[in-house]
Each structure stands twice: as C-alpha cells, then as structure tokens.
Amino acid sequence: MAARRLPGVSGRLGFLGLTLAYALLVAVCLGSLAQEDELSLGRNPWANLVKTAGEFARPSFLDVWFGETQLEYRSDDGRVLRIENRRQAEADYLAGLGRATWTTVRIATLGSLLGALLALPLAVLTARNLAAPKPLAWLAKGILDVTRSIHTLVFGLVLVGIVGLGSTAGILAIALHSSGTYGKLFAEAIETLDMAAVDAVRSVGAGPVQVFFNAIWPSVLPQFVSSHLYVWEFNIRDSTILGLIGAGGLGLLITESVALFQWGRLATVLIVIVALVSAFDALSRRIREALL
Amino acid sequence: MTIPSIVLDGVVCMAGGRAVLEIPQLNLAQGERVAVVGHNGAGKSTLLRLLTGFMAPKHGQVQVLGRQLVHPVPAETLRALRREVGQVLQGLHLVGRLSVLENVLIGALGRVPGWRGWTRCFPAGEIVRAEAALQSVGLLALAGTRADRLSGGERQKAAIARLLVQAPSLILADEPTAALDPSAAAEVCRLLVQAAAGKTLITVVHNPSLLPLLAERVIGLKQGRIAFDLPVGEVDDTTLMRLYRPEDSPQKAFWEVPSASKVLAAIGSKP
C-alpha cells in the first residue's frame, strides 16, 4: 500500500512535534473535564466498590446447589407472604439464560454471514489491485466507511423501528455494521494477492475463469475464512448487547438484572458471555492456524 | 535448422520514447538451444515478452511457432500461443497455496476445459503424467506439500515438472537460476535441458559458467541491439567482457572481481 505522507511528519523532528501535539491533546481533555468537575468519583466510591464486588463475587447460579429451598418472604407484621425454592428459581433462570445464549449465537452467526456476503462485492470494487472503475470504487468505499462508523446499537435502534422487536432487527444490525469491517479486511486480503501465482497460471494459456479458480481463489480463501471467523467472534460479543434495545438474547437479561440491581445475576450472565467468547476464540484460532 | 521456430523481422520496441530493442533479423530453428546474455536493461526480458505477446513491437514482424503476432493479438490467439510456450521465470512462479502436484497439473490446464479446470478435478491420465514429471525431477516425495514450503531449487524443479506436463514446443527461461546456489543452479539447468529435449529453448542467463550447459548458440544483447550471435564454443571471457562493459569505461565485469582466495593471498603477502 502506498502510504501518503502527512506534510511535516517526516523525520525525527516531525515525530517529536507529533508527540507534543498528542500530549497537548491529552492535557486539554483532562484539564477541561477537571474544570467542568466531570472527573469526580462520586460520594463514597470505595464503599460502593466493595459492596458491588461482594455481590459480584457470589454469582446467582451457585444457588442452584447452595440456595435456600424454603426462602420465606414475610411482610412487616411477620406474616409469611410466600415461600420460594431458590434452587428451583435459579435453575429456571439458567434455562432461560441458555435460551438467550442460543438466540445470541443465532443472531451473531446469521448476521455475520449476511454481513460477509454484503461486503464481498464491495471489497472487490475497493481492492486497489483489481482496478475497478473509479466512481464505483469510491461509492463502494463510501458505503463501507458509513456502515463501519455507525455502531451496531444505533443500527439496531433504527431497525427495531422498521422491522419490529426481535431477532431480525439484531441480525440486520450486525450484518450492516460488520459489512464495513468485512469489506476492509476482504479488500486487504485481495490486495496482498500473490501476482506471481496469477502469472504462473496465466503463462500456461489458462482462461480468465481458470486463472480465478486456480490462482486467485486458493490464495484469498484462507484469508477470507480467517477474517470471517474473526468478525464472527467479534459479533458474538457485540450481539450480547443487542438485547438492550429489544433485539433479544443475552442483552435482555443484562438490562433486566441491571435494572433490578441483581449483581449476582449479572455476574452469572457475564460468566456465560466470557465462556462463550473464549470458547469461540479458542476454536476459531485453531481453525485459522490450520488454514494459514 | 529446417523449420523456423521464431522469426523476427525489422523489430523495434519502444518504451518511454526510447528504443529498447532493435532486431533487424533473427531466426531460431525448431530444436535450437539459445542463451541470451547482456547487461541489465539490454533488452533480454523485452525479447521474451515480445515472444509471448505481452509486449507489442512498434515496427516489424514477430512470428512465433508459425503464428504471426499482429497487435492487438486476440486473447484467444494469445492463450493458444501460451499453451505451446512454456515459461520458467526468475520469480519462482508457483501458486503458493496449492500443493506441488496441483501446481504441476496447472501445466495441463490448456488441455482441460470446463468445470474440470475450474474445480481442479483433473482426469486420471493427467495426474499420472504429473506424477511421472515429478518423478523425473526428483520431487515425487513432495507431491502433497504446499508449494510455498519448498526451497528455491525445489520450486524451480516443480516449475520444470509443470513444463513437462504442459509439453510446449518452445521454452522460455528468464534467469531460472537467479535465486539459487551454484549446485542447485547446475541441477536445475540439467533438468531444464532434459525437459527441453527436441524443443526450442531460450534462456536468459547471467552466469557464464552455465552457458555450455544450457545452450549451443549465444546471443549477446547490448543496448537493445544484437552485439554478437555465436556458437557457444566461440564465446569466451573477452567476448562477454566487451558485452558487459559499459561504453567507454574500463570497469571490470563482475566475474573479474578477484576471488576471495586471491584477496586473502594478496593480504597475506604483505609484510
């Protein structure tokens, strides 16, 4: 890639200037926030931290084994209002959590695939070495920049208004936002194409379709798959937040537990998210290593 | 010297407003082995590009394997020509992601039309040929290895095996030994000549010690013109030195640089 140089940012002196400008920016950010008194930590941060950490340290799912079987809810005058089996209640919650996780995985999977398919033609148009007609390349690059810069959550909010609450809005939101990322990664994969391979196949008199399938496709496919796994994993993380706007999945449970200050339940949900993302990461890393 | 393989007549090639190749007349017969030597920019690669239709002459006639190349050459004619012209290039041109066997089978693409060429489902006969070709260059044991895991010498051997499968009647080799150590270079030259038996072989080469291995006729190019065209036996160091030396400059040719042992001896002789 031919890097266009910023004027005045060459050499050691230029780098020093850049560092000073950055330090100045940081100082301005800090100073102005401090002046507006926006850097306070609240009234008693330490007590709050200790209390929250204590509740987080006891994730709700432990109640499935250690919870009260006869938890009595009493009114102020001592009457027993109802008796709850905490073990049963948490087991039910876990089942719901499982269903929500499955919804999140489905949204991320379908959204990623749709995003990849949307991005593929745009990536072909923006890859510099394929030299697509200039206006088309600019248009494609514009679309990719726009979709990449609008957050999934924003897409989700707009789409919920269009297609209603539910998984469809989540899938479309994921697809639209990640198509920008996919487009960039795919275009870079195409740009690093080994032209010697293309020449090798062309030199034996192969036709354009033969060149595509024998030189270009095998060269870019592993990188495409690798990018796909990467963005897919990112989307699994991203889609856990989509429940916040009613698109279903784990995010719904997050909103619920935050609204009710049930930090123990939130801890359970977060543990599931971390486990899900790490499992997918381990799996995709193995697949990527096998491919490259 | 009966059937002409290549006929150039009054050819002038221009690049950047400058004549990079001027050949009034050149004939190569079927089965001839020719080496092209000359300094960088003398027009060696231009000559090869001319023969595969990648380069259009400004004036003159180019005839390769009985085909008159009139520019713009139709894509179909170019492809038909390239099927009959095998190329071994300096840049070790293989598809890195494919196995050695698949790379060798690429040589058969010209004969394998339709979906088989797209999906790399080659007919059994072609696979047998490819394996035989790998056997003859000594790479059969590496048939399933990915091409980007090979060493430089192994890559050029794979390219020669691809040539054997392609079975062209003209072979163009552009510095096929440029990236190789001396023993690998000699081995690759031997295999190349073996693969080119009965075919026309044109090799661009810099190392004068490989000339007798590769060619029976040597064409020296200097600034786009033919400086000499001699049987390999008549090409000696003086001829080559005159060719490589820049105009009016007594600079020594690169192989005249004293060898390490001579330098050491010279240092050692000083008190």
- The span from the CA of B172 to the CA of A75, in Å, is 96
Side-chain-facing half-sphere of A108: CA atoms under 13 Å: 29
pLDDT of B32-88, one tens digit each? 899 998 888 788 888 888 888 878 888 888 888 888 887 777 888 888 888 888 888
pLDDT tens readout for residues A94-125: 999 999 999 889 999 999 999 999 999 999 88
Domain ranges within chain A, ordered by starting residue? 99-291
User: What are φ and ψ of residue A51, in 5° steps?
Assistant: -65, -45
Residue pair B131/B143 in contact by the 8 Å Cβ criterion = yes
Q: Taking CB atoms and an 8 Å cutoff, what residues of chain A touch B96? A: 194, 197, 219
Chain B residues inside the 8 Å CB shell of A213: 117-120
* Residue of chain B nearest A292, judged by CA positions: B97
- Which residues from A are below 8 Å from B89, CB to CB? 196, 199, 203
- For B124, the token pair is 């059994």
Residues B77 and B82: their CA atoms lie apart, in Å, by 9
3-state DSSP of B184-243: HHHHHHHHHHHHCCCCEEEEECCCHHHHHHHCCEEEEEECCEEEEEEEHHHCCHHHHHHH
- Residue A223 confidence (pLDDT) above 60: yes
Contact state of A196 with B91 under an 8 Å Cβ cutoff: yes
For residue A205, which of B5, B170, B131, B108 has the smallest C-alpha distance?
Answer: B108
Q: According to the per-residue pLDDT averaged within each range, which of A121-125, A126-130, B3-7 is highest?
A: A121-125
Write down the pLDDT at residue A64: 75
Report the 10 Å Cβ neighbour count for B164.
22
The dotted CATH code for A99-291 is 1.10.3720.10
Q: What is the mean pLDDT of chain A?
A: 86
Q: Do A200 and B94 touch (CB under 8 A)?
A: yes
What is the per-residue pLDDT across B198-250, written as a single tens digit (0 to 9) for each?
A: 888 998 888 888 888 888 899 988 888 888 888 888 877 777 877 777 654 44
Contacts of B109 in chain A (CB under 8 A): 201, 204-206, 210, 214
The whole-angstrom separation of Cα B107 and Cα A206 is 9
Nearest-Cα residue of chain A relative to residue B53: A203
Q: Is the pLDDT of residue B253 over 70?
A: no
A200 contacts in chain B (CB < 8 Å): 93-95, 103, 106, 159
What's the N-to-C CA distance of chain B in angstroms? 60
* Mean pLDDT, residues B110-134 taken together: 84
In this predicted structure, what is the pLDDT of residue A164? 86
CA–CA min distance B166, chain A (Å): 7
**Whole-prediction pTM:** 0.68
Picking from B93, B107, B117, the nearest residue to A196 by CB comes out as B93
Enumerate domains of chain B plus CATH numbers: 6-266 (3.40.50.300)
Interchain contact B253–A (C-beta under 8 A): no
Chain A, window 219-238: residues with a beta carbon less than 8 angstroms from a chain B beta carbon? 219, 221-222
| Nearest residue in A to B88, CA atom | A200
| A218 contacts chain B (CB < 8 A) | yes
Going by C-alpha positions, the residue among A54, A47, A55, A48 that lies closest to residue A266 is A55
Which tens digit of pLDDT belongs to each residue from B238-247? 778 777 776 5
In the prediction, which pLDDT does B101 show? 92
A200 and B95 within 8 Å at the Cβ level: the answer is yes
Tens digit of each residue's pLDDT (9 = 90 or more) over A1-32: 445 555 555 677 788 989 999 999 999 999 99
- Interface A-B: count of C-beta contacts within 8 A: 81
Interchain contact, B110 vs A205, CB within 8 Å: yes
Residue of A nearest to B86 (CA): A204
What's the confidence (pLDDT) of residue A271?
92
The confidence band for B270, taking pLDDT boundaries of 50, 70 and 90, is very low
Q: What is the pLDDT of residue B260?
A: 56
- Kindly state whether A292 is in contact with chain B, defined as any CB-CB distance less than 8 angstroms: no
